[in-house]
């Protein structure tokens, strides 16, 4: 019985962590999309000077890097979803 209680507690903590990760991803992705979009708009400007273009390219590349890192957080949510599906099938 203690094992089931521990498993339930662990699963609740995993679910809470997955929810937090989803919120963090959402909160980072919204301003990140705006930042990336603005950098890309700047890069389309034919009158942009070389120095400004390099700066906009740096902003774009670093924003894409953050986007990849935040995307990797999605895998943290997967184990909880998998556990829940396995329990439902049993």
Question: Tens of pLDDT along 45-70?
Answer: 999 999 999 999 999 999 999 999 99
Q: How many CB atoms lie within 10 A of CB 76?
A: 16
Backbone φ, ψ for residue 73 (5° rounding): -65, -20
pTM, two decimal places: 0.69
Spatial distance between the Cα atoms of 46 and 33, rounded to a whole number of angstroms: 22
Question: Tens of pLDDT along 73-86?
Answer: 888 766 544 455 55
Instruction: Flag whether pLDDT at 8 surpasses 80.
Output: yes
Helices (H), 1-90: 2-44, 50-72, 74-89
Q: How much is the pLDDT for 77?
A: 66
Question: Tens of pLDDT along 18-55?
Answer: 889 989 999 999 999 999 999 999 999 999 999 999 99
Spatial distance between the Cα atoms of 78 and 47, rounded to a whole number of angstroms: 46
Coil, strand or helix at 68: helix
């Amino acid at each position: 019985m203690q094992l089931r209680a521990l498993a339930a507690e662990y699963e609740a903590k995993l679910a809470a962590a997955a929810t937090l990760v989803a919120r963090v991803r959402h909160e980072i992705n919204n301003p990140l999309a705006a930042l990336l979009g603005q950098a890309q708009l700047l890069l389309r400007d034919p009158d942009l000077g070389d120095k400004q273009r390099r700066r906009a390219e740096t902003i774009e590349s670093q924003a894409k890097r953050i986007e990849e890192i935040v995307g990797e957080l999605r895998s943290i949510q997967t184990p909880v979803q998998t556990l829940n599906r396995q329990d439902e099938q049993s």
